[in-house]
Amino acid sequence: MKPNKETYRILVIDDHPIVAEGIIALASQLEGVTCKGATCAKDVEQLTLKERFDLCIIDLELPDMNGFQLISHLHSQIPECGILIYTMHEEPWIIAKLSTLNINGAVSKNASTSELRDAISTLKNGTRYFSNVFSELDKTPYHMHFPNCRDVKKKCSPISRKD
């Protein structure tokens, strides 16, 4: 995932269509961004076979595959794609499991929409992003997608869109 002047393509993966559509609407407001959505791993498989994505925004709970399995699958299918976790799960064991994965960011579903927008913009610019609740993940050694990145932490505080 490299910052550039081309269209930045995002795939939003959430089993709740209203959540996926809200994220798509939010991200599509950003300059140079186009989005598609999927509500299950089967849809992700079909989309990633046909299209390239720069960022996948992933919920950890899907009906046909858990988010951890999906992350591994995406790394093998589209290794250049960044991964942003968007989840309600803030439990220590979830954070511990996420720390073993190569992800580029994580935002809590308890965060504001402006924080999610900031996370997407930050990732689009080639920098990792973690909400405070996930700040431990920012200490992980993974920089595969961003070998020359500046790491930042955030202070407290229909399915296809945009041409």
For residues 85 and 82, give the distance between their C-alpha atoms in angstroms, rounded to a whole number: 10
- Would you state the pLDDT for residue 142? 43
User: What amino acid is encoded at 84 in this protein?
Assistant: L
> pLDDT band at residue 6, thresholds of 50, 70 and 90?
confident
pLDDT score of 145 more than 50: no
Arithmetic mean of pLDDT over the chain: 84
In the chain, DSSP assigns E strands to: 8-13, 33-38, 55-58, 82-87, 105-108, 129-130, 152-153
Element housing 70 (H / E):
helix 67-77
- Would you state the pLDDT for residue 16? 95
Q: Nearest 5 degrees, angle CA 69-CA 150-CA 82?
A: 25
Once rounded to an integer, what is the mean pLDDT over residues 108-112? 93
pLDDT score of 151 more than 70: no
Once rounded to an integer, what is the mean pLDDT over residues 98-122? 93
- Would you state the pLDDT for residue 135? 79
